[in-house]
Every structure is written in C-alpha cells, then in structure tokens.
C-alpha cells in the first residue's frame, strides 16, 4: 500500500486505501468499491461505496494539469479553496451544499457527502425534467452566501482577511480568458465555433467594436470589484438536484468578485436548456423554464432586499437610496454576465451539451444565433434588465426573430 505523505494523483485502487487509512467511515468488514465519476474539466472525483452497508463518500482530488487540456497547469491550491468555501457556504446556506468531512493539504483532496441520489442538473434538463423548487433554492443559496460576505454586512477588516484567503489567481485567469476575452477575438486560436456559424460569428461578434468595448468594461469589473465571495462557476453542471432538493457543488473558482457573476451564470444556463427544449418542442418544459428564469431574478431581488434590511451593518450603506443603487448595479452585472456566458459557451473552448447535442444543423444554428443575439443585447444594454420578465421578453423576441 502506498503511503499518503507525499502528493501523487490517485487511481481507483489508491482511493480505497486512502479512505481506509484516513477516515473511520467504514467498518473493518466493509467491502469497498471505488469508481472515478468526474465529468468536469478540471478535477478527479471518486465515489467509494461499501457494498455491504451502502455507506459511501466522495473523494475529490486536484491534478496539476486540467482534464480539458494538458497544456493548462493550474494551482492545486484550488482544492483548499473549494473545501473551505463549501464549509462556509454550508454555514450560510445550510442544506444547499454537500457536507465536507476532511481536507488533506498533502494529497490535495477532500472528502464530502455522496449525493448519488441526486442528478447533475444539466443532465436532468437534457431529459426535460422539471425542478419546481429550483428557483426558490438557488435564490436562497445566492442571497445567503453572497450578501453576508460583502462590506455591507461584514466587518470590513474581517472581510479583507477572508478576501486574502480566497485569492485564486489561476482559476480567475481561466475565467478572464475563457469568459471575458477569447469569445470576442479568438486571440489564443482555440475557440470552437460551429462550422456553419463561423462567418456569422466573425461578422457579428469578432467585428463588433461596440460589443467588445462593453466586454472590456465588464472584464475589469470582474477583476477589480471585490464585492462578495462568489461561487464563480454557477452553471447547471455545478448543481446536484432532485425534485425536492438542490445542492450546489464545484466552487473551485470562488474568489471575491461581483455577485452578478453567479446570478448571470444561472440565468444563461437556464436559457441554454430553454433553447434545447424549444428546438425539441418540449412545451411544458420551456414554460417552466420561462417562469423559472423570471423567478430567479425576481426572487433574488426580493430576498436580497429582505436580507439587506435585516443585516446591513455599515452606517453609510444605510443611507436612503443606497440599497436600491447597489442592487441595480448587481442586476446590471447579472445581465452582462448572462450575455458573456451565453457567448462563451457557444464560441469558446468550454461548451455546453444543451447546445452541442442539437444534431440538426438548422436547429443548432437557430439556437446559437438566438443565444448570441440575446447575449449582445444583455451585454450592451445591461442597464435595461432589472426584472425577470425583461430577460424572458428579450429571449422570446429573439426566438421569434430567428424563427421567421
């Protein structure tokens, strides 16, 4: 048996020895099996189960290169960030994230609650499943994890300490490149544009200088607005879900940034599911998504206001009109980021199955152009999206435009 005093990348067998050595979760007569189940772009995820008792655990380990590309070397410190933020989010939003059992700074891994009775939300959405409680759960998660980490609520010195411990340069660089830069110029020559859409993207995205100026403004806000401790990658692949329960996972991109980054990501990824449902004629599904997109915005706003009123601590933040101004800035960022996420998942290197699984070329082009045209409006006119309906009206307007 290997010892675990020096870092190496574990395989399925190593993980069995690891959990026996490091935890008392399993009894001596346990019969353990392990399987690598990770399907993300970065890390390795193992499920270990005792076939006799059904007790199980997840082991997540960071490798020194990413799974999506061996050329991308990123700090394995991301696993410390992920396990620490999960613990913090568990305090602020109890029941909405998995429990963390152990963090190991040598093996750069952590152990957490197994959620195998849940399903990755993107997969469920690809089977047109409806999750009636999602909007309520995700807005509680966002308000309860974002607002308490701001200067509005927190002691300012404590906030700065927290900010220091969540400095995450490598992962931020990935977002700065993949979200805020490459989709608009392909300067690293690794965008994955659907062949039949190349000319359209060239003309309508790469050559639109008004759009690129607005993206530049958003990029510098992402890098400089240390507003809240954000999840940093809140798409539907970062959510484990059932009809009743929602658990947010994979916060390795967490850092102090603009809170609209999280809200905008949620909205954009619901729009991808909507477009997939639309081209596959799933009426009930897209009606639920339309309502859900609206509720994500509107419930976020009302819960934000309630949380603010109960918890604001900074004396200047209590000035009349300040909360309204602050929230309108968050909503502006939300719209801008929704537009960025819609763009980068269609043009950039990290794509989403909701769109890439559309086999019919005409439908795929339709879905892509609706998303990209909507994206441009969200980015350029981001101050005009401050209610849920503003998002769905524009979505439907673009659907109608390209259906014609």
Question: Is residue 251 near Mg ion by the rule CB under 5 A?
Answer: no
**Which is nearest to 58 in space by CA: 86, 77, 29?**
86
- Return the residue matching tokens 């980068």: 344
Which partner from the list ligand SR1, Mg ion, none does 388 bind, CB cut-off 5 to 8 Å by kind?
none
**Residue 378, CA distances (Å) to 52, 164, 340 in order:** 53, 32, 8
Residues 41-60 that bind ligand SR1 (CB under 6 A): 41-42
Q: Which is nearer to Mg ion, 40 or 98 (CB)?
A: 40
130 binding ligand SR1? (CB under 6 A): no
Rounded Cα distance, 229 and 378, in Å: 24
CB of 277 to ligand SR1, least distance (A): 22
> Does residue 98 touch Mg ion according to CB under 5 A?
no
**Count, residues near Mg ion per rule CB under 5 A:** 2
Residue 174's binding partner, choosing from ligand SR1, Mg ion, none, with beta-carbon cut-off 5 to 8 A by kind? ligand SR1
| Partner that binds at residue 245, options Mg ion, ligand SR1, none, CB closer than 5 to 8 Å by kind | none
- Residue 250 contacts Mg ion per CB under 5 A: yes
* Region of residue 321 (phi > 0: left; psi between -120 and 50: alpha; otherwise: beta): left
- 3-class secondary structure for the chain? CCCCCCCCCCCHHHHHHHHHHHCCCCCCCCCEEEEECCCCCCCEEEEEEECCCCCEEEEEECCCECCCCCCCECCCCHHHHHHHHHHHHHHHCCCCCCCEEEEECCCCEEEECCCCCCEEHHHHHHCCCCCCCHHHHHHHHHHHHHHHHCCCCCCHHHHHHHHHHCCCHHHHHHHHHHCCCHHHCCCCCCCCCCHHHHHHHHHHHHCCHHHHHHHHHHHHHHHHCCCEEECCCCCHHHEEECCCCEEECCCCCCEEECCHHHHHHHHHHHHHHHHHHHHCCCHHHHHHHHHHHHHHHHHHHHHHHHHHHHHCCCCHHHCCCHHHHHHHHHHHHHHHHHHHHHHHHHHCCCCCHHHHCCCCHHHHHHHHHHHHHHHHHHHHCHHHCCCHHHHHHHHHHHHHHHHC
Q: Which residue has 């206001």 as its token pair?
A: 305
Which of 233, 262, 354, 368: binder of ligand SR1 (CB under 6 A)?
233
| Span of 51-59, 64-72, 78-86, 320-328 interacting with ligand SR1 by CB under 6 A | 64-72
Site residues (CB under 5 A) for Mg ion, limited to 38-77: 40
Quote the least distance from Cβ 373 to ligand SR1, whole Å.
22
Binding mask of the shown chain, residues 133 to 172, with x at each position contacting ligand SR1 by CB under 6 A: ----------------------------------------
Piece of 38-46, 306-314, 315-323, 386-394 that binds ligand SR1 (CB under 6 A)? 38-46
68 near ligand SR1 (CB under 6 A) = yes
Work out how close the CB of 251 gets to Mg ion at its nearest, in angstroms, rounded to a whole number: 9
Query: Is residue 232 a contact residue for Mg ion (CB under 5 A)?
Result: no
Over the window 176 to 205, marking each residue x when it contacts ligand SR1 by CB under 6 A and - when it does not, the resulting string is: --x---------------------------
The binder of 66, among Mg ion, ligand SR1, none, by C-beta within 5 to 8 A per type, is: ligand SR1
The interface mask with ligand SR1, positions 263-302, x = CB under 6 A, is: ----------------------------------------
Q: How far is the CB of 233 from Mg ion (least distance, A)?
A: 5
Asked if 72 is part of the footprint of ligand SR1 (rule: CB under 6 A), the reply reads yes
Rounded least distance, CB 40 to ligand SR1, Å: 6
Asked if 351 touches ligand SR1 (CB under 6 A), the answer is: no
Encoding tokens for residue 320?
A: 């009349």
Binding interface with Mg ion (CB under 5 A): 40, 250
Binding interface with ligand SR1 (CB under 6 A): 40-42, 66, 68, 72, 174-175, 178, 233, 350
């Amino acid at each position: 048996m290997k010892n675990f005093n020096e870092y190496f990348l574990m395989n399925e067998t190593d993980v069995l020895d690891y959990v026996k050595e490091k935890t008392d979760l399993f009894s001596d007569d346990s019969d353990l099996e392990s399987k690598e189940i990770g399907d993300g772009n970065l890390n390795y995820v193992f499920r270990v189960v005792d076939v006799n008792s059904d007790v199980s655990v997840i082991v997540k380990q960071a490798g020194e290169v990413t799974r999506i590309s061996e050329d991308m070397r990123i700090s394995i410190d991301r696993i410390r960030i992920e396990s620490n933020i999960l613990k913090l989010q568990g305090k602020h939003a109890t029941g909405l994230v998995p429990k963390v059992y152990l963090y190991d700074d040598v093996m750069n891994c952590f152990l957490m609650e197994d959620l195998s009775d849940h399903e990755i939300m993107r997969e469920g959405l690809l089977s047109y499943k409806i999750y009636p409680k999602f909007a309520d759960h995700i807005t509680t998660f966002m308000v309860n994890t974002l607002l308490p980490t701001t200067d509005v609520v927190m002691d300012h010195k404590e906030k700065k300490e927290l900010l220091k411990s969540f400095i995450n340069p490598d992962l931020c660089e990935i977002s700065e490149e993949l979200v805020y830069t490459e989709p608009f110029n392909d300067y690293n020559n690794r965008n994955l544009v659907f062949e039949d859409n190349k000319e359209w993207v060239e003309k309508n995205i790469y050559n639109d200088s008004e759009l690129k100026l607005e993206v530049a403004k958003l990029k510098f806000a992402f890098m400089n607005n240390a507003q809240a401790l954000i999840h940093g990658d809140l798409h539907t692949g970062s959510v484990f879900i059932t009809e009743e329960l929602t658990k947010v996972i994979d916060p390795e991109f967490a850092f102090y940034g603009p809170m609209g980054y999280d809200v905008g990501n949620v909205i954009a990824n619901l729009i991808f599911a909507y477009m997939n449902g639309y081209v596959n004629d799933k009426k009930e599904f897209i009606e639920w998504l339309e309502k859900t997109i609206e509720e994500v915005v509107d419930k976020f706003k009302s819960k934000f206001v309630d949380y603010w009123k109960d918890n604001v601590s900074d004396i200047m933040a209590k000035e009349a009109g300040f909360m309204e101004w602050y929230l309108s800035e968050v909503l502006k960022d939300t719209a801008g980021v929704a537009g960025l996420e819609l763009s980068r998942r269609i043009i950039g290197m990290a794509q989403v199955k909701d769109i890439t699984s559309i086999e019919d070329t005409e439908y795929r082009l339709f879905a892509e152009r609706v998303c990209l045209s909507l994206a441009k409006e969200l980015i350029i006119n981001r101050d005009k999206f401050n209610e849920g309906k503003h998002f769905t009206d524009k979505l439907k307007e673009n659907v109608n435009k390209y259906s014609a």
